[in-house]
Structure 1
Amino acid sequence: MSESRRLEGQVRVVGSGLLGASIGLGLRAQGVDVIVDDVSPAARTLAIDYGAGRAPAEGDDPAIIVVCVPPDVTAQIVERELHDYPNALVTDVASVKGAPLRELLGRGVDVTRYIGSHPMAGRERGGPISARADLFVGRPWVIAGHDGITYRRAAALEDLILDLGATPLEMSPDDHDAGVAVVSHAPQVIASLMAARLRDAPDASLGLAGQGVRDVTRIAASDPALWVQILGANASTVGGVLREFRADLDRVIEALGDVSHPGAMRVIAETIGDGNQGVARLPGKHGQSKTFAQVVVRVDDRPGEMGRLFTEMGEIGVNMEDLRIEHSPGAQFGLAEMSVVPEHEERLVDDLIRRGWTVTGR
């Protein structure tokens, strides 16, 4: 057993997609005996080939089961696992928490060994091929408790979360669903609608694309079939967020219709300002709301240049909190936009310039 490992016993992972395979990889790295199962034998075999765990065997007695299946079958699979493994705690990682619990209660299922959870982590690409053992490191992982289960009985879930490097966060199922509607589900719809504007845009217009449109549309590459289920399971809450968004958008459209009308410019300015305030509230590194300074450095399109930049930042002694890279088509250089704590900005800029780097923005 790893010296720092908290979890004891076998872990059964049902569903071998991105989350299931990543959970398996992360726990296997800690020395946990992980059992991988999937309705698709091919998908299960692929996840096992990538090292996410082993196939089920007679006599398996998992301490905890993690159900990683689409939302529309989550409750069904949870019920099956509770029945088949009477000693195990069962959780699921579906992105909605209220609907599975209500469905289980409606079926009369004993939920004293069930507790929903949701890791706030993912990638645009799915499947075990995209899985990573460190996918959850530093990310919040919601534990959606309910009255039918005790804290002591759910302790193994917290151990699993901590072993994967994530941060447990307790919320009620309804509070969770309201939260993800704002920070995940509605943004997915908005990003997809914006990306749809690009379908018929002239090639010349797309050639102007910079980091702004890439940031806004990054998540628009997500799987439509999965999102139909997610949005359907959280429909009323997401609908409420989008109605508020529509009202704000209508005000901006009206202001743009006649910018000379009294108050129109104020509407536009306040819209941008409100966005500034919202962004400032997003948690920064280590879960703290913090505003970082931005330093933009030109990086020539040559092998090893990004590595040299990182090395020299380490020599300067400044930690990079975040990084964005913009590389326009046809350009022989890129722009690295680095986030640093404000008190290090001046020293970093001065030292980079002395070392020959071109600082193009801050």
Structure 2
Amino acid sequence: MFSRLKNLYRSLGSLTFNVIVLFILVNLLSVGALAVRDYLKANPGTLGPDNPWNIRAKAYPGWKSSDIYDLFIETWERQKYEYEPMAQFREAPFKGRYVNVSEHGFRQGKEPGVWPPSPDTFNIFVFGGSTTFGYGLPDWQTIPAVLEKKLRAKGVKNISVYNFGRGYFFSTHEMLLFQRLLMEGHVPSMAVFIDGMNDFYHLDREFIWSDKLKESIAGTQITGMKVFRNGLDLLPTIRLMKFLYRYLGSDGKKDKKIIAEQSIKKIVKTGSDPEAATKVLTRFIQNQKMIRTLAGSYGVEAVFVWQPTPLYKYDLSKHPFAGSIHKSHKKSATGYKTARQWFDKGRLSPDMAWCADIHERSDRTDYVDSMHYTAAFTETVVECIIEETNLTTRISRRTGSK
């Protein structure tokens, strides 16, 4: 009996030792792979013609491969979020070459934003998700930055546009963030809400970090597991896996036509749920009502925009990243059709800018990844916002300019 236990102990010890050695070796190899990644970034000429990075580079005409890489890393590998009351979380402060996030919760534009906003300036707060924040774009090419540039070019003077777009945000988050800013005394002249895409993404979900908050409230018994999970994220192997997921997410080596056909079949199968669309749109209308009530009470002019998605009136054969669209986004395929019907009947808002159709103006790739806009398409989105909301006239009427 004792001999058996002794042999079992030795076997377990040997197995444990081998697992530890394997764990160390895998992470050392991952460190090496990350070093190779950085070398390739600094020496883009060594990359083969068919690698996914060259596919991604087509979304950045005129950019050097090393610069695209730096933007990619700043977008996806920074510490992206931190806790914030009411809205639950925000983009964490960050200073980089292309991505800069203020400690006050907004992304910087071409020039650093003044905080608190000057009462002598016509201040516009823009709310939305990661497409508004501008994932995959530098500070000066985001929707709010381009909006400020175009308005100034049209003669609108003394304005400042603040980018309160945040990853995962949808209309409920935006309403809560807007309320919090007003409560703190930060009252803009105008607030622009860009929605649609993430409203369907969060169809059956609570806020994205709700589970972690529940764990924190539950008590110290799960603290050890939480620390363990957070520690895993720091391991070279996990970092490498996350990078490869993003890097290879282009499906760049597949034939575009095949990607489009496969994606359309999946979208039709997973996105056809009229009841889900009704649920999302009803929630959006309720959030819109609360935003209008808040805005009216504080003298803020509210502007609403329904944004484009690759799953509505867009030729997916032009989309090299269609195969990596998250399944939760695919409910937009049917949802946007229902939203258009509601919009035509005046159920959403007669003064809302409907910009979901603007892919019809484009004959190019409009996305830097599965869901986020290119710089060129961002310009088109902003033009739609200005035109459909008659924004220049509305601002000029209040400022007395032009």
Name the TM-score class by shorter chain: under 0.3
Structure number with greater CO (CA < 8 Å, separation at least 6) is 2
- Give the structure with the larger strand fraction: 1
Query: More helix per residue: 1 or 2?
Result: 2
Give TM-score, length-normalised by structure 2.
Answer: 0.22
TM-score of the pair, normalised by structure 1 = 0.23
